[in-house]
């Protein structure tokens, strides 16, 4: 994962970020990048699609999904899978965990320091822990 110290302020910044990540900056990718990288947020593919298509130009659903995959592969966003049918794309690349409200579908950040993991399973010698992501699923009473 790359660590974005600041979010792109302009279209030119998005172009530079894509190029420096080895991504060819098509007009659709730049539009999607402008939506995703405007601030720290959690968006579903459908939310990205709706935001990108608020302007006159239409970006296809397939293009949005493919671009999200490319951005994730290149470490510009994190995929957060809250259940098999719900994936969020997270523009906050700092180490953190999540709180998922199953009744509203909202996902919010939890600082890494607020979660303490005291024990993990023993792994075979050929395996090494890469990362631990915690998603706490809640609903309102």
> Per-residue confidence at 1, pLDDT binned at 50, 70, 90?
very low
> Per-residue confidence at 6, pLDDT binned at 50, 70, 90?
low
Whether the per-residue pLDDT at 4 is higher than 70: the answer is no
Count CB-CB contacts under 10 A for residue 124.
Answer: 5
Count CB-CB contacts under 10 A for residue 14.
Answer: 23
Phi, psi for residue 134 in degrees, rounded to 5 = -110, 130
- Alpha-carbon gap, residue 68 to 56, rounded angstroms: 21
Q: What angle do CA 122, 100, 7 make, to 5 degrees?
A: 95
- Alpha-carbon gap, residue 59 to 50, rounded angstroms: 9
Lay out the sheet containing 42-43: strands in order across: 42-43, 86-90, 78-83
- The domains located in the chain, with CATH, are 11-78 (1.10.10.10)
Task: Give pLDDT tens digits for 13-69.
Answer: 999 999 999 999 999 999 999 999 988 899 999 999 999 998 767 899 999 999 999
Phi, psi for residue 125 in degrees, rounded to 5 = -55, -25
- Alpha-carbon gap, residue 48 to 118, rounded angstroms: 37
């Amino acid at each position: 994962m790359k660590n974005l110290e600041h979010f792109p302020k302009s279209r030119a910044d998005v172009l530079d970020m894509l190029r420096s990540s080895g991504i060819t900056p098509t007009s659709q990718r730049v539009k999607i990048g402008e939506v995703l990288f405007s601030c720290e947020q959690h968006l579903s593919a459908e939310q990205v699609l709706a935001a990108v298509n608020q302007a006159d130009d239409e970006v296809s659903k397939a293009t949005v999904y493919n671009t999200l995959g490319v951005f994730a592969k290149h470490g510009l966003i994190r995929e957060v899978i809250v259940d098999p049918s719900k994936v969020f794309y997270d523009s906050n690349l700092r180490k953190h965990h999540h709180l998922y409200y199953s009744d509203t579908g909202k996902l919010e950040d939890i600082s890494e320091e607020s979660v303490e993991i005291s024990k993990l399973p023993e792994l075979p010698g050929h395996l090494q822990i890469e990362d631990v992501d915690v998603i706490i699923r809640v609903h309102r009473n």
